[in-house]
Structure 1
Amino acid sequence: MELSKVKEHTYLFDRGTNTTYLGKTPEGSHIYSGETIKEFAIGEVANGGYVLSVMFDSVLRHYSTRYQVDPIALNCFFLRKTDLGSLVVEVSDIKVSRKGYCLTKAVIKQPVKQSKQRLEHLSDYHPEDYVEKVYGVFTMGNMDNEEGLSADHDLPSPPNNGDRTLTLHQGEYLKDIVVTHSDASLWPVPDSPQPMEVHQTTIFRDGRPIDAKSLAFWCDMFVSPPNMLGPSMIDGQIWCATMQMEIQFKQKCHDGLKKIASSFVTHTLKNSRFDIDGWIWDDRGELLVTTRHQCLCLPWERNIKSKL
C-alpha cells in the first residue's frame, strides 16, 4: 500500500510524522522535509520515539517502491535533543541489494536558527546551516518472503495475559494522544524503592491503527523505569534522556491492530546511566519488536534549557 494514500492527515500522529520528498543532492543524499509538533513534546523536547517515527516516515518512503519494504532493525544515536519545529531527514544508502537485506543511513537535522517553516524546495537546503540531531542506521528487508529456523527462549509473557492487573494510568504527558493501562502495583511508594520495570497496554486515543512506523514511537512511550525508585531514592523530578536506542523487528503488524502490550525493564542504574530492555506484543500475544536503550537520569531542568 502506498504510504501517501493512507489517509495521511486523518490522525494526529500522521500529521506529526509526515515528511515530503524534496529531491536528491549532488552528493547522492535524498532530502525529506518535515517537522516536530508540540503535541508530542515531553516538557520542551520532542519525544525520542516520536522523532524516530518522523525519520521512519522518510525511510519507508525511500523504500516504498523497492523489494525491501519492511524494517528489520534500527540502531540510532541521539546526538542532541530535537527541538520543536522544522527539520530535514537526509537519507543515504549504505548497502543496496536486489532481494537481500539493505542498509540505509538517515540523519535528522535542524537549522541552527530554528524555524517553524518547513522547507519546500531542495534549492533552499544549505547543509552548513543545519546541525545533526539524530543519526540512524536502518536494516530493511521483506518479511513476507523470509523463511528459516525459528525458536524462542526465556521470553517474558505479555503483561495482559492474565498474570497482572492493569488499570488506567493518566500520565502527565501525551495523555491526549495515548491511553495507557499499567500494573499499578509497581508504581512508586514513599518508603521504599520499587522494581525498575513498567508493564502496560497502550492505544492511540483517536483510534489510529498501529503499524511499523508507529512502533518506534511505542518503543519510547512509557514512564522510564528508574522513576519507580520513587522519593526514597529520587529527589525531585528527573528527565530520562535516551542516548542510544536499538529496535529489532520480529514480525509485521496485522491489519487493524489497535492495541499493544509492552514491558520495559531496567537492570542496572549506575552513576545515573542506565539500560532498558523492552518487548512489544500485538493483541494476539505475538512478539512484534524488542528494543534496548542506553539512557541518562538528568535533573528535570536540563529538559527545558535551550541547549544540553
Structure 2
Amino acid sequence: MSEFWQDTEIERLDETHLRANVTERWSVNGIPNGGYMMSIAARAFRVGLSHPDPLTITGHYVEKAMVGPVELELDVIRQGNTVSTAALRFMQEGKERVRFTASYGDLDETSGVTWVGDQPPSIEREKCLTSPRFLAIHERVEMLFSPKTADWLRGRTVDRMEHELMAYLRDGTEPDVMALPFFADCVPPTTFSKFGSVGWVPTLELTVHVRAKPAPGLLTARFKTRYLINGLMEEDGEIWDSRGELVALSRQLAKYRGGNL
C-alpha cells in the first residue's frame, strides 16, 4: 500500500462515526497539511455516501489540528439520484478541528456541454527548479517549479504572487480524485513569489472542485493570488493531468503572517 493510501485510511465504526489517523508524514512544522486532512475527509465521505466521487469539498479550519487519532462524525444531508451531500466533523481530543461539507457524484456518469477557457501552463520539465526538502511534506511529494515563476527559489522576488509547477507523489502512487485535495494545498504559499520564502500562511477555508478523474502521470498546476488585503489573501488553483485535461479547481482563504517559517 502507498504511503498516501495508508495515511488516509478510514475505519468505519457505525453509520455516522468513522476513525482515521493523522500522521506526521504530511506536516508543515509538525502541523498537518490542510489538503491532506481534506483527503482523509474525502475518503470518509466516499464510505458514507452512495456516490463515489467528490464534486466539491469545502473545509473550514477552525482550530489547529495535530498528529494522532481523529474521530470523524458524518451527517448525511441528502442522498440523491445523481448527487449526495453531507457534512463531516473532524474531531481530536474532544475538539472540532475542521468542518467539512461535500457533494458527491459519479464522474464516470457525468455528461453535458463542455467548454474550457484556458490551457495548462507550458512547462519544460528539464528546466524546472525543485523545492528544497526542509519539511516532512517535501519528502512525500516532488514539486518541479517552472522557471517563469520560481525566482523565489533563486533568492529573488517579483511583484506578483503565482506558481506554475508539475507535481507527483515520490512513492510512485498515481493521482486519483482522493489525492486532488492534497495537491490543491501542498504547494508553498504564493506569497513566496513576492516576499520570499518566509511567513506562516495558515488556511482558514479551502474549497476544491473536482472536474475529472486524473490520468496516470505528472500533474501540472497553476496557483495565483491577486489580492492580499489586511493580511487576508485568496489563492486560486488549477490542476491539469498528464493528458492536458483540467481535473480540479481550488480556492482558499488564508491569513498571511510575516516572519520566518
TM-score by length of 1: 0.78
Pick closer, same or farther for the CA change 1:264–1:203 going to 2, 3 Å: same
Q: 1:54 aligns to what SS in structure 2? A: helix
Percent sequence identity over matched residues? Answer: 19
| Equivalent residue in structure 2 for 1:100, among 78, 82, 100 | 82
From 201, 205, 221, give the equivalent of 1:240: 201
Q: Offset of 1:142 from its aligned partner?
A: 1.5
Amino acid at match of 1:21: R
Separation in 2 of the partners of 1:241 and 1:41?
A: 13
Distance 1:57 1:237 in 2: 33
Which letter maps to 2:66?
Answer: D
| Corresponding position of 1:169 | 131
CA radius of gyration, larger in: 1
The one-character-per-residue Cα deviations of 1:241-297 (angstroms, maximum 9, x if unpaired) are 11011111111223xx13111110001011111000100000010000000010001
Residue of structure 1 equivalent to 2:243:
284
Contact 2:133 2:139 in 1 (8 A): no
Contact 1:263–1:278, Cα closer than 8 Å, also in 2: yes
**Pairwise CA distance, 1:206:** 0.7
1:220 counterpart = 2:185: yes
Q: Which runs of 5+ in 2 are unaligned?
A: none
From 60, 63, 69, the counterpart of 1:80:
63
**What secondary structure, in the 3-state scheme, does the structure 1 residue paired with 2:138 have?**
coil
Once the two structures are superposed, the pairs formed by residues 124-203 of structure 1 within 5 Å of their partners are 130-153=94-117, 155=118, 157-160=119-122, 165-173=127-135, 174-186=137-149, 187-188=151-152, 193-203=158-168
* Post-superposition offset of 1:192: 5.1
- Counterparts of 1:268 and 1:163, CA distance in 2: 29
Over the aligned positions, Cα root-mean-square deviation in angstroms equals 2.1
* Whole-angstrom CA distance in 1 between matches of 2:79 and 2:187: 35
* AA matched with 1:158: P
Deviations 1:188-218 (A, max 9, x none): 2667534200111011111011111111100
How far off its partner does 1:19 sit?
1.4
Q: Please show how residues 289-308 of structure 1 align to structure 2 within 5 Å.
A: 289-299=248-258
Q: How far apart, CA to CA, are the structure 1 residues paired with 2:156 and 2:242?
A: 36
TM-score normalised to the size of structure 2?
Answer: 0.91
Deviation at 1:164, TM superposition (A): 10
Match of 1:19 in 2: 10
Question: Where in structure 1 are there 5+ consecutive unaligned residues?
Answer: 1-9, 25-29, 112-129, 304-308
Instruction: Tell me which residue corresponds to 1:4.
Output: none
* TM-superposition CA deviations, 1:47-85 (whole Å, max 9, x none): 11001111112111223xx3x211111122111111111
Alpha-carbon shift at residue 109 of structure 1 (Å)? 0.6
Q: Which amino acid aligns with 2:128?
A: L
* Distance (whole Å) between structure 2 residues aligned to residue 59 and residue 166 of structure 1: 36
